[in-house]
C-alpha cells in the first residue's frame, strides 16, 4: 500500500520523505488554508520534494472553469494529480484530463456507486473519506471493502486512495482490505511507528549495553 501525506506542511513532508514514508502527497483547500502559504508556491515546492503524485484541487464547480484551473495546475509539475470533486462536472473534467494523460484524483467519494462512476470516468485515484463516514455513524471501512469488491469485479484500474484517515486502525484496515493508497496526516503516520514493546525493549537493550562498559568503534 502506498503512503501519501495528507498535508501542505513542508517540514513534515521532508521529514517523512527522508524515512521513505511518502509515496505522494494530497492537499485540499482546507490544508492550504492551514499552511498559510500561497497555493501555487507551496504546491510547486512539494512537487520538488516528492517524486510521486501530488494532488492539487480545483475550486471551480463547472466543467469549463475546472478545465481552466486544471490547465494551470498541471503545468506546475509532471507529478501533479488534478483533484476534482465527485460531481457530474468533476467527472467530465476527469474524463477529459485523463484522456490527455493527466493524473486525476476524484475526491469527496462517499458511496461505492460514486466510486464506480469515478472509475468509468477514467480516474487515476478515487478518494473515499473514511473518517467523515465514521463521524456520522457509518463504518467508513465498509465503503472501502465495497469499492474493492466492485473494482475487482470489473478489473477497474482506478486506485482506491483511502482518505480522511484519522488513526492507525484506519491504516491497518485499509491495508487488510487491499486499498492501493492511504493518505494520512503526518501525525497519524508517526503514530504507526509507536509500540510500547519497542520502547521498552530498546530501553532494556541500552541499559544492558551500558553495563558492558563497551563502545562501538
Ligand atoms: C484527502 O485527499 C482529503 O481531502 C482528506 O483526507 C480529508 O480528510 P479530513 O476528513 O480529515 O478533512
Instruction: Write the pLDDT tens digit of every residue in 51-64.
Output: 999 999 999 999 99
Element (H, E) at 146: helix 140-154
Asked if the interface predicted TM-score (ipTM) of this complex is over 0.95, the answer is yes
pLDDT at residue 208, rounded to an integer: 98
Per residue in 130-164, pLDDT tens?
A: 999 999 999 999 999 999 999 999 999 999 999 99
CA-closest residue to ligand 1 atom 1: 163
For residue 49, the domain's CATH number is 3.20.20.70
92 is catalytic: no
Listed residue (108, 188, 109, 95) closest to 146, CA to CA: 109
- Total domain count, the chain: 1
Q: Which of 83, 96, 194, 203 is catalytic?
A: 83
**Is residue 160 a part of any domain in this protein?**
yes
Segment 30-36 shows an average pLDDT of: 97
pTM: 0.96
Give residues with Cβ within 8 angstroms of 97, minimum separation 6: 67, 70, 74, 82, 84, 104
Segment 40-49 shows an average pLDDT of: 98
Segment 201-217 shows an average pLDDT of: 97
Task: Report the half-sphere exposure of 105 (CA within 13 A, side-chain side).
Answer: 31
**Is residue 217 a part of any domain in this protein?**
no
Note down the domain range covering 50: 2-212
Amino acid at each position: 500500500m502506498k503512503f501519501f501525506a495528507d498535508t501542505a506542511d513542508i517540514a513534515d513532508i521532508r521529514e517523512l520523505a527522508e524515512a521513505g514514508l511518502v509515496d505522494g502527497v494530497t492537499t485540499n483547500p482546507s490544508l492550504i488554508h492551514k499552511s498559510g502559504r500561497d497555493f501555487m508556491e507551496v504546491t510547486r515546492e512539494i512537487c520538488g520534494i516528492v517524486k510521486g503524485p501530488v494532488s492539487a484541487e480545483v475550486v471551480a464547480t463547472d466543467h469549463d472553469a475546472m478545465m481552466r484551473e486544471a490547465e494551470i495546475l498541471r503545468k506546475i509539475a509532471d507529478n501533479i494529480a488534478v483533484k476534482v470533486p465527485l460531481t457530474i462536472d468533476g467527472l467530465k473534467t476527469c474524463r477529459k484530463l485523463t484522456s490527455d494523460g493527466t493524473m486525476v484524483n476524484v475526491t469527496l467519494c462517499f458511496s461505492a456507486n460514486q466510486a464506480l462512476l469515478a472509475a468509468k470516468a477514467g480516474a487515476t485515484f478515487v478518494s473515499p473519506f473514511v473518517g467523515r463516514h465514521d463521524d456520522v455513524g457509518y463504518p467508513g471501512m465498509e465503503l472501502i471493502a465495497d469499492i474493492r469488491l466492485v473494482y475487482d469485479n470489473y478489473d477497474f484500474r482506478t486506485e482506491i486512495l483511502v482518505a480522511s484517515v484519522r488513526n492507525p486502525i484506519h491504516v491497518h484496515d485499509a491495508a487488510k482490505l487491499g486499498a492501493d493508497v492511504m493518505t494520512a496526516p503526518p501525525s497519524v503516520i508517526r503514530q504507526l511507528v509507536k509500540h510500547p514493546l519497542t520502547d521498552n525493549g530498546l530501553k532494556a537493550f541500552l541499559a544492558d549495553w551500558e553495563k558492558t562498559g563497551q563502545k562501538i568503534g
